Every structure is written in structure tokens, then in C-alpha cells.
Amino acid sequence: MIPLSWYLYLSAALFAVGLYGVLARKNAIAIMLGIGLFLMESPTSPTSAVGNLVALLSGVGFALVTIFFRRLRALHGPSIVCLCNLATGFGAAPLVHDYSAILGLTLSGWAALILLGSVQIGLSYILYAAALKRVKPLRAATISLIEPILNPVLVFLLLHEVPSSLAILGAVAILGAIMMDLRLNSNEQ
């Protein structure tokens, strides 16, 4: 019998080799060969299908957002952001089951809602659109990968919950990759 842990060790080794291939090779096709090695790892934990579906759609949506902000960079960023968010709001409005919950919010509830809307969504999209005027979309998407790293950092600072070792490992990997990408390709403008 072959224990499951052996397959996981093999996947870890293959992942390490692929990582070396992606980081240490010059030619883009050689880097993609490394990514091909990444894809060889067989996932062993079952996940929910619907969750994956939603993640997939949101990924595609975000990529479209990035690309279109870049193409529309001649226009005024903040107004595009407002228009798009209003459109999303109108589009999502029929899906809300129960409007009474919103109307029954207290003042602090309204304050939190406005804060979330304007700062977390509005301000961040405006800054993203402004950045996309200067930076190419692929670079912007790569840099925005820092965001999931900062989540555990924020949680650590506010709630004193230490992130797991795997999360720290992932954060190191992503930061290292981004810094290496910036250092190696900074001759492009």
C-alpha cells in the first residue's frame, strides 16, 4: 500500500523544482515550463464546487476590471469607478431578499456601511484606476497579490491571532516573487 503522505512529499518536491524553474530561468517559455510543473500536483483535499465556481467568476471579473481600467486610462478614473459601482448596485438590487434589514439599520450601522462603501471599495478602486494609468495590467495584477498577504498581517495586529506557518511561508514566497519581478524587469517602463 502506498501511504497518502508519500504523494504529498512528491508533490512538495515537484513544487520546489517548479518554483526553482520559474524563479531562475531567463526565457519566458522556460518559466512557463516551470508553471507546467506546478500544475502536476494532484489536489488531495475536496473542496466545495460552488465555492470554486464563485472564485473562478470573481477572478475573471477582476481581470476584466483591470484590463478595462487600463484601456480607459485616458478618462477620469473616479467617475468610472462611481458609475461602475452604481451599475453593480442596480444590478444586484433585485437579488436582495429582504430590504427591511437595510432600512432598520442604526446610525452606527449606516456609518459602517458608508465607510465600507467609500473607503474599502470606492477609494481602493480609484487608487487602482489611477495606478493603471501608469503601470501595465500584468504588473498591476501581480502587485495586487500583496493584498491577501496583508490580511493576516492586519488580523495579527488587530486581533492578535498569529497566522499559521503555511501562511507565513506563502507570504514570503509572494513577496519574494514580486520583489524579484520588480528588480529583474525594472528596465521596462
Report, in Å, the least distance between residue 69 CB and another protein: 18
Report, in Å, the least distance between residue 2 CB and another protein: 5
Is residue 54 a contact point for another protein (CB under 8 A)? Answer: no
Is residue 159 a contact point for another protein (CB under 8 A)? Answer: no
| Interface map 11-40 toward another protein (x if CB under 8 A) | -xxxxxxxxxx-xxxxx-xx-xxx-xx--x
Residue type, 104: G
Matching residue, cell 495590467: 137
Cβ nearer to another protein, comparing 53 with 115: 53
Is residue 97 a contact point for another protein (CB under 8 A)? Answer: no
Spell 19-34 as b/e; 16+ CB within 10 A means b.
bebbeeeeeeeeeeeb
Residue 69 has a CB neighbour count (10 Å cut-off) of: 23
Task: Report the C-alpha dihedral over residues 151, 185, 41, 148, rounded to 10 degrees.
Answer: 10
Phi, psi of 163 (to 5 degrees): -70, 155
Is residue 72 a contact point for another protein (CB under 8 A)? Answer: no
Catalog residues that contact another protein under the rule CB under 8 A: 1-10, 12-21, 23-27, 29-30, 32-34, 36-37, 40, 42, 49, 52-53, 56, 60, 165-166, 169, 172-173, 176, 180, 184
